[in-house]
Each structure stands twice: as structure tokens, then as C-alpha cells.
Amino acid sequence: MSKANQIQAPKGVSEYVPPQSRKFESVRQALLEPAKNAGYELIELPVFEDTELFTRGVGESTDVVSKEMYTFEDRGGRSITLRPEGTAGVMRAVIEHGLDRGQLPVKLYYSGPFFRAERPQAGRYRQFYQVGIEAIGIQDSALDAEVIAIADAGFKSIGLEKYRLEITSLGDSASRAKHRVELVKFIEKLNLDEDTRVRAGVNPLRLFDDKRDEIKTQMINAPLLLDFLSADSLKDFEDVQKHLTALKVDYIINPRMVRGLDYYTGTTFEFVHELLGAQSGIGGGGRYDGLMEQLGGQQLSGIGFGLGIDRCVLAADAEGISFDQEFTSDLFIIPLGVESKTVALTVAQELQKAGLKVEISFGDRALKGSMKAADKSNAEYVLVLGDSEISTGIVELKQMSTGKTSSVTLTSLQEHLRSVSGK
Ligand code: HAM
């Protein structure tokens, strides 16, 4: 096929092919492990949902909903959206399956692709990958601290060091209402274009997140929510900090933090990597007190996070972290002829079942070519399987690193490989 005929991946998607995919897999495992160790269970959900889930759950004032959703009509005329984030879907499923009627908190983890029609750039993709957790049904500052510490443990187990944790609190509804009155009064006096004013009308906090200089300067003296926290909310926020300190999770308070999704209340946080440039958020999350009720469920609080796998892979590269996850097989079998291929397949199947990594040389390569392939696959041992080996049942096992050979019977192959590989 000529190059002009080739089909390329859609613009702005992230994809991982070997050897890069090994890194991706290591990072995902590292991020998931602390959640599993803390008792979170897998939830696997569809990548598309009813559009209304996100308009209601994530909020119409957000860029995510107003500009970035992949929305289409399915063949039945329903409005469907590719999930831009995970929390709303998890909440939908918790309500639908009645998980909130059992033991609380409901503790769930997930990982998979998410979709936002953003302008692509390094670290910002239209299909990207997250690991996330949600803990639903208990409001406890100790739980907030544990959730944050789980994310932190994930980053540390990748080996990341050059990142910081920023936290703030959006308080309870009374605190937010009091602050909103003052903020709206402040915003009324600003010089804003019509679009911005409309956005601020839906959620005035959005203006803290505006990247334009003319808005940033105008917002310098804006009233901060942290100064309006009720006594309860303040105590809660202080408790979260006390727990984080005990857990040795370093943090700074960022009172101007605004998350990109509207459901947040109480503790909110972001992890920012210092070597990633503009797209430096490697994870974020927080509490969402009203979300379940907004989606038709009971009035339960929740907290969770989403961590960007793609950005963690970039961060690991930027910090020079290496992953020696190369596939190395214990044994590479070179069959000579059709008969020996059948034997090679069955021998490999037995050994693979026993947990050994075994590859076979396929095709009709000459012995020299097969030995090269064995070398490339980083095999520990190689054996050639021809008519005489099959009739005697004895093979010559060659150790690739030393070139040493030893005679082993086919029946004792497994035992022999196990003892030398320590498996
Ligand atoms: P979020 O901050 O929108 O939160 O996304 C979480 C992480 O996903 C970000 O910190 C970033 O690392 C990664 N990410 C987001 N957009 C992109 C993109 N276009 N390309 C590459 N990476 C991206 C949420 O999604 C919430 N659901 C988190 C949460 C869970 N809050 C409570 N529970």
C-alpha cells in the first residue's frame, strides 16, 4: 500500500505501542496498587453514557461540558456522549445498582480511556487515560486524607519526586453561599465581555481559573472562599491537614484553585508536576457533596481523584525514570520441520501453564535466523527441536549468556528450567 493510502490515528489521541506500552502498563499498575491495598474494588463502566449525565453531573458552566464533549445521536435518536471523566458515571452506576444501600463507604477504582475535544498539545489529548478512585457515603476528614495519600503513594511508587500537592477547601453550602454573595458583588464591578459575564453568572468561581491576563489582574483582590469557611468547614479542613502531616504527605494551600468540574465541595486538591510545562496537572480530585442527589440518588457525600496516566508517563520520562520491563523469555524453542512444531507447541504450552515464559520460532527460518530471533527475544535458554531430539527425548539446552550447553530430557525440562530461573 502506498503511503497516501495509509490511515492514521485521529488527531490528538494518545496511543501506546511496544516498547512504550510497557511503561504505560508499569505506570498504571503503580497508580492502582495503593488503591487496591486500601480496599478499593474494580468498577468497569461503559465509555459512553446519556449526555444528560454529564450536563447535570459535571455542570454546564465548565469547558468540559460546554466545549469539549464528544456528543452524537445514536441510531435510536438518543443523545450519547463519550465519557469526559469518570465520577459522574460511577455515581450513576452506584445509584442504579443500589451499592449505596450496603456497607459505606462504597470504595471503587477504575482505569480507562476518557475523551475531551481539547486543542491537542504535549500532555493534552482528545483520548487520554486515567486511574481513578471514588469513596462514597461517608464524610470524614480522615477519608479525605487517605484518598489524597493513595494518589501520593501511586506517584511515589512510579518514582516521581518533582511534583507538589496543592489543596484547598470549597467548604459547605453555607460557606459557599456567603462567599458567592461577596464574589458576585466584586465581579459586578469588573470590566468583562458578555461571554465571560454569562459564565460567571453560572459559576463565579470560574473567573479564578481564567487564563487571560486582563481577567487575572482584575481578580487579584477578589474575595477568597477560604476566608468565608464556616467553623465546621474550617475545622474539617484543618483536620485533613493534620492527617496529611501525620502521613508525611507534603502539601501547600492554594486558595485560588478552581477545578475544571462543577461538582466539587469541601476538600479539593491537585498534583502538579514541575517539569511538564503547561499541562502540568498529573492528578486531581476532591469531595462532591451534592452530586448523588443531583443525579437522582440519596443525599450522600463522596470523594475521589483522577490521575492522568499519560502525563505520569511523560513525568517519569522527564525525571529520567527507567522501567526495565523488557520481555525476556526463559526459553526459546526452535523447531525444525512440521512434526517438531507440534511437539514445540505442546512443550511450550505445558511450560507456559507452569508460569515459565516460552517463545517459539515461527515460520520457516534457517537455523541461523532463528538463533538471531532467540537473541533478540532476550531468551535465557534456547533449544533446537529436530527429529533426533524427538526420538531420543533428549535436548541440548543452551544458555545464551554463557554459550554453555547441557543435555536435558524433555520430561525434566520444566523442573530444570524452574530450578535455574528460581520460579
Ligand atoms: P480532572 O482534573 O479533570 O478530574 O482530570 C484528572 C486528570 O486527568 C488530570 O489531572 C490530568 O492528569 C488528566 N487529564 C485530564 N484531561 C486530560 C487531557 N485532555 N489529556 C491528558 N490528560 C488529561 C477528573 O476527571 C475528575 N473526575 C477527578 C475526580 C474523581 N474527582 C473526584 N473523583
CA dihedral (146, 151, 152, 153) in degrees, to 10, reads 90
Asked if residue 197 is part of any domain, the answer here is: no
- The beta-strand segments (E) located in 205-356 are 252-253, 265-273, 281-287, 302-308, 331-335
**Closest residue by CA, ligand 1 atom 6:** 306
47 and 166 assigned to the same domain: yes
382 and 306 assigned to the same domain: no
Q: What is the pLDDT of residue 325?
A: 65
pTM equals: 0.93
- The CA distance from 315 to 282, in Å, is 8
Asked if residue 223 is part of any domain, the answer here is: no
Asked if residue 182 is part of any domain, the answer here is: no
DSSP 8-state code for residue 400: T
Q: Which atom, in ligand 1's list, is nearest to the CA of 123?
A: 21
Dist. CA 111 → ligand 1 center (Å)? 12
pLDDT tens by residue, the chain, 423 residues: 557 799 999 999 999 999 889 999 999 999 999 999 999 999 999 999 999 999 999 988 788 998 999 999 999 999 999 999 999 999 999 999 999 999 999 999 999 999 999 999 999 999 999 999 999 999 999 999 999 999 999 999 999 999 999 999 999 999 999 999 999 999 999 999 998 998 888 889 989 988 899 999 999 999 999 999 999 999 999 999 999 999 999 999 999 998 889 899 999 999 999 999 989 999 999 999 999 999 999 999 999 999 999 999 999 999 999 886 677 899 999 999 889 999 999 999 999 999 999 999 999 888 899 988 888 888 999 999 999 999 999 999 999 999 999 999 999 999 999 988 777
314 and 336 assigned to the same domain: no
284 and 360 assigned to the same domain: no
Contacts of 348 (CB under 8 A, 6+ apart): 331, 333, 358, 359, 360
Q: What is the pLDDT of residue 209?
A: 86
Asked if residue 75 is part of any domain, the answer here is: yes
Which H or E run contains 93?
helix 87-96
Cβ pair 141, 169 in contact under 8 A: no
Q: What is the pLDDT of residue 32?
A: 98
Ligand 1 within 6 A of CB of 289: no
- Name the strands in the sheet holding 79-82, side by side, starting at the edge strand that comes first in the sequence: 48-50, 79-82, 71-73
φ and ψ at residue 21, rounded to 5 degrees: -65, -25
Dist. CA 308 → ligand 1 center (Å)? 6
154 and 251 assigned to the same domain: yes
Residues annotated within a binding site: 85-87, 116, 130, 134, 259, 263-264
336 and 302 assigned to the same domain: no
Q: What is the pLDDT of residue 199?
A: 84
Report the interhelical angle of 141-158 vs 309-318 (nearest 10°). Answer: 50
Ligand 1 within 6 A of CB of 84: no
354 and 256 assigned to the same domain: no
**Closest residue by CA, ligand 1 atom 21:** 124
Dist. CA 281 → ligand 1 center (Å)? 8
Query: What three-state secondary structure class fits 277?
Result: coil
Asked if residue 214 is part of any domain, the answer here is: no
- The CA distance from 280 to 255, in Å, is 18
Q: What is the pLDDT of residue 2?
A: 55
List of long-range contacts for 218-221, beta carbons under 8 Å, 24+ apart = 218/190, 218/191, 218/192, 221/186
Choosing from 268, 291, 318, the residue where a domain stops is 318
Q: C-alpha cell of 119? A: 486543542
43 and 105 assigned to the same domain: yes
Express the helix, strand and coil content of the chain in percent, nearest 5 each.
Answer: 40, 20, 35
Choosing from 297, 318, 339, the residue where a domain stops is 318
Asked if residue 220 is part of any domain, the answer here is: no
Dist. CA 314 → ligand 1 center (Å)? 15
Choosing from 267, 292, 318, the residue where a domain stops is 318
Residue 289: half-sphere exposure toward Cβ, Cα within 13 Å: 14
Domain of 342 in residue numbering reads as 331-421
Q: What is the CATH number of the domain that holds 383?
A: 3.40.50.800
312 and 336 assigned to the same domain: no
- The CA distance from 347 to 361, in Å, is 13
Asked if residue 203 is part of any domain, the answer here is: no
Cβ pair 263, 246 in contact under 8 A: no
Residue 84's closest CA among 105, 127, 115, 121? 115
Total count of domains within the chain = 2
Q: C-alpha cell of 320? A: 529520567
Dist. CA 303 → ligand 1 center (Å)? 14
Q: How many CB atoms lie under 10 A from the CB of residue 40?
A: 23
Asked if residue 344 is part of any domain, the answer here is: yes
Q: What is the pLDDT of residue 220?
A: 94
Residues annotated within a binding site for L-histidine: 85-87, 116, 130, 134, 259, 263-264
Q: What is the CATH number of the domain that holds 22?
A: 3.30.930.10
336 and 262 assigned to the same domain: no
136 and 248 assigned to the same domain: yes
Q: Which atom, in ligand 1's list, is nearest to the CA of 282?
A: 12
